[in-house]
Amino acid sequence: MEHLAATYPPSGDEATSTPLPPPNPVLSNPAFQALVRARRSFAYTLTTLMLAVYFGYILTLAFNPALLGRPLTPGQPMSIGIPIGFGMFAITFFLVALYVHRANTVHDAMIHAIREGAAK
């Protein structure tokens, strides 16, 4: 097995003589910046919703377990917590589907418009 020597960034005179790569014009495009903001805010919103659902369930389980331990129907062993747990999976699936739908429609259309503008 061959070992490669570590490479370090240039120092001193070497650092000043290395030309910097040209700036990417797409990064300064206002449409690209709007896309980044839209995707980020949408992702943060979905993340916040998901965390609220999961932490709400865990906190309810920790501080009021009797609520989730109540029988769904009197005399039956299944408690209210089981369908609520399955509901969390359904909410997770819905949020993922919502993100994929938005990414494939709104965000992909914005990316296509940015690419078309950059190609001109």
Q: Based on the number of CB atoms within 10 Å of its own CB, is 66 exposed (0-12), middle (13-18) or buried (19 or more)?
A: exposed
Domain boundaries, the chain: 31-119
Contact assessment for residue 42 and residue 99, using Cβ atoms and an 8 Å cutoff: yes
Amino acid making up residue 108: D
Q: What is the pTM of this model?
A: 0.71
Count of other CB atoms within 10 angstroms of residue 32 = 20
Count of other CB atoms within 10 angstroms of residue 93 = 10
CA–chain centroid gap for 44, Å, is 7
φ and ψ at 68, to 5 degrees? -80, -15
The tens place of each residue's pLDDT in the chain, 120 residues long, gives 566 666 666 666 555 667 777 777 777 888 889 999 999 999 999 999 999 999 999 999 999 999 999 998 988 889 999 999 999 999 999 999 999 999 999 999 998 988 887 776
